[in-house]
């Protein structure tokens, strides 16, 4: 079975982007916006625990997840070859 690279990349991008948005809003809801630079903020430029930072994280997550998903699906399709059958 082959994976559709574009569909898998889109699914991974949405999962990563929306996941980061949800986690950021969860932290804002319970602890309040701090604007502190986090470990993710060191990798995703412009991201912090704030309303604006959550949408920057959404964009970074979409891009990063889509690239990672596309690479994974592409490699999966390369290495997932059907096994040769032995005729008796």
pLDDT in tens, 12-60: 999 999 999 999 999 999 988 887 778 888 899 989 898 999 999 999 9
Residue 85 placed within a domain: no
Instruction: Output the six-digit token pair for 26.
Output: 């969860």
Residue 88 placed within a domain: no
Residue 50 placed within a domain: yes
Global pTM value: 0.83
Residue 87 placed within a domain: no
The number of distinct structural domains making up the chain is 1
Cα 7 to Cα 24: distance, rounded to the nearest angstrom: 26
Cα 56 to Cα 26: distance, rounded to the nearest angstrom: 16
Residue 75 placed within a domain: yes
Burial of residue 73 (CB within 10 Å: 0-12, 13-18, 19+) is buried
Instruction: Output the six-digit token pair for 36.
Output: 């502190």
Residue 23 placed within a domain: yes
Mean pLDDT over 2-12 rounds to: 96
Residue 28 placed within a domain: yes
Containing structural domain, residue 37:
5-79
């Amino acid at each position: 079975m082959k994976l559709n690279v574009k569909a898998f990349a889109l699914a991974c991008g949405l999962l990563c982007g929306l996941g980061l948005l949800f986690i950021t809003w969860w932290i804002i809801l319970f602890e309040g916006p701090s604007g502190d630079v986090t470990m993710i903020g060191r990798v995703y430029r412009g991201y912090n625990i704030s309303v604006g930072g959550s949408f920057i994280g959404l964009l970074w997550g979409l891009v990063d997840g889509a690239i990672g998903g596309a690479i994974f699906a592409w490699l999966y399709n390369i290495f997932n070859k059907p096994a040769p059958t032995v005729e008796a």
